[in-house]
Structures are given as structure tokens and as C-alpha cells.
Structure 1
Amino acid sequence: MAADAPHPAFEGYATEAVPQAAVGSPGKDGVLELTFAATADGTRLVHDYATVPFHVSGTLGHDPHPEADTVFVQSPTGGVAQGDRHDVTVAVGEDAVAHVSTQSSTKVQTMTCNYAAADTALRVEAGGHLDYVPEPTILHADARYLQDLAVDLAPGATAVVADVVVPGRLARGERFEFERYLSRVRATGPHGLLFEDATHLTPAESDPTAPGVLGEYTVYGTAFVLAPDRDAADLSDALHAVVSDGPARAGATALPNGAGVAVRALGDRAETVQSTLHAAWDHARRDLIDAPAPSGRKY
């Protein structure tokens, strides 16, 4: 397997040279590091480092939780291009409460060679809580996108991790014209692996609208409510009741090893899926840290 390809499905792409700035050059390898810590004045962002295409302009204090801090990650570029490699690290200290999102959707642009990848590592220390809820990922025609997300939880730590995937610029009639999309999520706790989850879509090889995949729906979203020290069965039942009557087709199920709950939603529009996942996030947050989820405003 090519050294640059972290998954066999992307091995063939990795050998393709990009005609613009090469893989690994400035602006292609984006790095984002965020560290939050609990202080006497609440949670504070104590370390941040960002290279293009990431930009952090500071924190916001409008979270309903009085001790929380919020960062909306910005991008001065037009989206994710072929050959881009992004590394994101978010660390939340003991008893800190943090919310990380993006200011706008992540647009994965059309590609003719190579691929784009994002590697995200989240770490939450004892008693801490992290909400990692970015805006949707939009896969343009011929896009090839690989994203890996790893969550590591200390004892007593909790997290909500969400993702919404839009298979094209729907307003332009672009649906399932991307080439390949692979998203992998892995969570670990003090005793090792809690669960792994993967979504792999290749429209030219396997019809994503087939029964048992997305069916009649277009937009797909998932929220993982990670709370290994809570009653996963009760939380799953509660979240299922919240989302099952919502505007999207949705349900909730307990994750393996008592890790928490997975909520999945299908809809025809990103807003519909986001609304359903937000309802689950809101309920989970009230249960986990006794505060509602933040509103959708990005300022």
C-alpha cells in the first residue's frame, strides 16, 4: 500500500500527482490544535495553533452552559481541494466544557486526481465534556474524501460528536456524483476500544439509494453521544423517542461496550437532518451536563 494512503480504498489515488501545489506544501497540509482547560473563570481556550486553511479568531461565550467555551473554526479558502491533508487535534482538560464547530459547511471540491483527507483526534479528560458538531460536509461531483475521527475518553468524560453528509450541491440537481466517501469513527476509553463505525459510499460501484443504504433519502447524518459511565439503554430509549417523530427519518441505538448512543437520521435536506440531530443533541446535553444545546447562530 502506498505510504500516503491510510486506507486501501485510496491507495490508487495516492500515487496521482496534483497539478497545483503538491501534497504536503503550505496551504495543502492544514493543522489545527485547540486545547481547553477549566479555570476559576470557567473553561478557557489555553492553546490554539492553526495553519491554512484553518483560522481561529477567538472564542465565543454564548453557550447556555455557564462554564463552557466555544470555538467556530473558519476557513479563508473555497473548500477542500484535491491533495489536501488536514490534521485536527482538540483536547479538553479535566472538568472543562467545550464546543467546537465550523462557521460554514465544508465543501469538498471536484477532483481529477489524488484525494483529500481529514484526520481528527479528540481527547476529553476526567469530568470534561466536548461537543464536536461541525456544519455539514458537501461532496461535489467527482470528490474523493477520506475522514478519520478518533475520540479518547478518560473516566467520567463525555462527548457529543456529529456529522452530516450532503451528496452534492442539491440546489443544482447534483446528487451522488462524487466518486468516493469514507468516514471512520473510533472511540476508546480507559480500558481500550469502545466502538468503531464506518460509512463508505461509492456511487459508481454501489447504488447509495438502494434499500438498506439511503433508500429514497439524500442527506445522511449521525450523532454519537459518548457517555461510558451512564445507562446507555435508558439514554438510547430517550433519544429514540426524541428523534423518531421529528422531520427526518431517524432512530437511536445503544453503542457496544456501554459507550453511549448512536443517532442516525435521513432526509431530503441538510436542514431537516440537522434539526433532528440538534434535538437529540439538546436532550443528551441536558442529561449529561444539565444545559441545553447551543443555538445554530454562528456569531
Structure 2
Amino acid sequence: MNSLHAAPELAPYHDEPAQLPSGAPGKNGVLRLGFERRGERTILAGLCRQAPLLVQRALYWDEAMPGLACVFIVTTSGGLLQGDRHSIEVRLGEHAQAHLTTQSATKIQQMDANYATQTQDIVLEDGAYLEFLPEPVIPYRGSRYLARTRVTLPESATALYAEIILPGRKYHRDAELFGYDLFSSALRVTRPDGRELFAEKFVIEPAQYPVDGCAVMGGFDVVANVVLLTSAARADRVIDQVPAASTLAGPAVAGASRLPNDAGLIYRVLGTDSEPVRAVVREFWSLVRRETVGAPLPPPFRWR
């Protein structure tokens, strides 16, 4: 996780910004969160934060899961800037339950030098349950972004992880739609003994490889990549209830597949805009909740 600069897709972008150099104070964000089960409630027992990443406290707004620790990840810089190096570490103790999200969409600002990175290291212990569902990512024109996520969990734990990627500021001005230079994201999942369950990586470079054609985005603009990491029995219950996509004419299409090594499921959604995609992801999230912890979702916040 420390050799991100060696990724081949970053080779054209190693020039330093004219402003603060990459990784300088204020650009090297660090967040470490440790959750523990205390009685009927999960608490945020460990917290280390370094600007521009910030977490304040755990909240408990979910009436169906009153012990679920709900935490907003905040960035004080208004998004990811060129030269930013962010690192997030999350650990859930035995039978801890947590919901992580962001305070708003992650905006990857326009760049004229270097790139931005974010690493996420997530560890779950026996019986833990995590929902990591950040708001969508918006890569601005000319931005370069590389994300690396590693999840370690036993078979008894469950993690629902999602990323929703917008095509840019679609309605802002010309050249914003798929106008970013680079979006690279990789996920690696292992058992606590080090056994690798699966790894995936996708690299999007719209100027070199157009993404709006057949077998890529195919006329859609928004993609959601949702991964359910859980036992084979729970995954079976979920996939049996996921409807199969039957048409490409609607505002969103989706489909689920099994992951190798009984790691769980992967669920992909394509849509014409963000709201239809978010709605389909929420339906899948509701199904996962019901089949893994036996609880319904709360109604959406009114401002969503």
C-alpha cells in the first residue's frame, strides 16, 4: 500500500505542483478508526485524525439497529487536490457494527500537475458487520486519482462496500463529461491468515480509451461497484432475491455475480444519472441488511 507511486498508470504524472509539494502538511490526511462492541452498542473506541480528514463522533440514528455506530468522514479541504495523499484505516472488533459514509460527494478537483491518492485498510474481526457506503465520487476535468482498498475479514464477518463514480460535472460545461485524465481503483480481499480471496482493479483513461462505447459504459454515465463480503450461505440468500436485469432501456440496469473463493457477491449498476443508480444501490443495501442482520433500512433522509 506504500508503493502507489509505482503504479504504471501514474507514470505521466510525477511532476510536482507549483504550490505545496505532494504529501506536504495539510495534504497528507490520516484517519484511523477503531470500533468495539460494548454491551448492546458499538462505540468509536479509537480515533486518530490528521487534517484534512476529520471524524467527530459516532451517532445512533438507526431505530432498527440502535447499537449501530454511524460515522461521517469529513474533509476540510473541499475535496481531493493535486498532491493529496490520504490514508484511512478502519478496524471493527468482535461483533462490532458500524456504518461509515461521507458528508458529501468526494470531489476530485481539476489538476495541472501530479495526482491524488487515497488508501483504505479495513479489518473486521469475528462476527463484525460494516457498511462502508460513501457518497459518489466526482472526478473533475483534468483530474488524476488512484485509490487502493484492502479488506481483511473472517468468514463470520460481513462487509458491504460501495463506490459510485460519476462522469464528472455533467451539467457544468463542455469537456467535463468523462473529461478527467485518470481514475484508477483497486480492491484486494484476504482472510486473517493472509489467504487472498480475490483482487480486482480498473483503470479509466477516457482520452486514451473512450468509455462510452459498447461493452464499457454503453451509453450510460454513472457506475456503481458494490461488493458484499460475507459467508457463502448469506450470499446465497441475497443473490436468490436479486432481480436479473432484462432491458437496457431504463435509467439504470444492474446485475450480481458471485465472487471467487466463496468471498460473497459483486453487484454492478449502470445508470444515466446518479439518482437512479443510488436508488438501485439502496435496494440492494436493504436486501443485504435484511438477510445478514435481520433489520430494515431507515427511511432516506429528507434532503436526499
Query: Shorter-chain TM-score: which interval?
Result: over 0.9
Partner in structure 2 of residue 257 of structure 1 = 261
Partner in structure 1 of residue 201 of structure 2 = 198
Partner in structure 1 of residue 143 of structure 2 = 143
Q: Which moved more, 1:46-55 or 1:224-233?
A: 224-233
Shift of 1:231: 4.9
Partner in structure 2 of residue 160 of structure 1 = 160
Alignment of 1:176-191 (within 5 A): 176-190=178-192
Secondary structure (helix, strand or coil) at the match of 1:217 reads coil
CA contact (8 A) 1:125 1:155 kept: no
Secondary structure (helix, strand or coil) at the match of 1:71 reads strand
1:29 partner letter: N
CA contact (8 A) 1:38 1:96 kept: yes
Q: Distance in 2 between matches of 1:86 and 1:159?
A: 22
Partner in structure 2 of residue 33 of structure 1 = 32
Q: Which runs of 5+ in 2 are unaligned?
A: none
Q: Distance in 2 between matches of 1:93 and 1:294?
A: 24
Shift of 1:240: 3.8
Shift of 1:228: 2.9
TM norm structure 1: 0.93
Shift of 1:247: 5.0
For the structure 1 residues 298 and 187, does the alpha-carbon distance in structure 2 shift closer, same or farther, using more than 3 Å as the test? Answer: farther
Partner in structure 2 of residue 282 of structure 1 = 286
Alignment of 1:57-96 (within 5 A): 57-63=56-62, 64-96=64-96
Cα-to-partner distance string for 1:133-177 (whole Å, 9 max, x where unaligned): 000000000010000111100241110000000121112142000
CA contact (8 A) 2:251 2:272 kept: no
Q: Which moved more, 1:245-254 or 1:141-150?
A: 245-254
1:278 partner letter: R
Partner in structure 1 of residue 123 of structure 2 = 123
Q: Does 1:56 align with 2:55?
A: yes
Secondary structure (helix, strand or coil) at the match of 1:29 reads coil
Secondary structure (helix, strand or coil) at the match of 1:230 reads helix
Q: Distance in 2 between matches of 1:235 and 1:247?
A: 23
Q: Distance in 1 between matches of 2:221 and 2:264?
A: 26
Q: Distance in 2 between matches of 1:96 and 1:298?
A: 28
Match of 1:216 among 207, 216, 219: 219
CA contact (8 A) 2:166 2:274 kept: yes
Q: Distance in 2 between matches of 1:240 and 1:10?
A: 38
For the structure 1 residues 288 and 106, does the alpha-carbon distance in structure 2 shift closer, same or farther, using more than 3 Å as the test? Answer: same
Dislocated runs of 4+, deviation >3 Å = 231-234, 243-247, 293-299
For the structure 1 residues 136 and 298, does the alpha-carbon distance in structure 2 shift closer, same or farther, using more than 3 Å as the test? Answer: farther
Secondary structure (helix, strand or coil) at the match of 1:176 reads coil
CA contact (8 A) 1:167 1:176 kept: yes
1:175 partner letter: L
Cα-to-partner distance string for 1:247-276 (whole Å, 9 max, x where unaligned): 511111111111111110011111111111
For the structure 1 residues 4 and 279, does the alpha-carbon distance in structure 2 shift closer, same or farther, using more than 3 Å as the test? Answer: closer
For the structure 1 residues 25 and 169, does the alpha-carbon distance in structure 2 shift closer, same or farther, using more than 3 Å as the test? Answer: same
1:71 partner letter: V
Q: Distance in 2 between matches of 1:205 and 1:215?
A: 17
Q: Distance in 2 between matches of 1:235 and 1:41?
A: 26
Q: Distance in 1 between matches of 2:91 and 2:185?
A: 21
Match of 1:293 among 293, 297, 301: 297
CA contact (8 A) 2:220 2:272 kept: yes
Q: Distance in 2 between matches of 1:12 and 1:129?
A: 40
Q: Distance in 2 between matches of 1:281 and 1:83?
A: 34
TM norm structure 2: 0.92
Q: Distance in 1 between matches of 2:192 and 2:33?
A: 22
CA contact (8 A) 1:237 1:252 kept: no
Q: Distance in 1 between matches of 2:299 and 2:35?
A: 21
Q: Distance in 2 between matches of 1:227 and 1:85?
A: 30
Q: Distance in 1 between matches of 2:302 and 2:49?
A: 19
Q: Distance in 1 between matches of 2:130 and 2:302?
A: 18
How many residues in Structure 1 have an aligned counterpart in Structure 2? 296
CA contact (8 A) 2:60 2:67 kept: no
Q: Distance in 2 between matches of 1:244 and 1:100?
A: 32
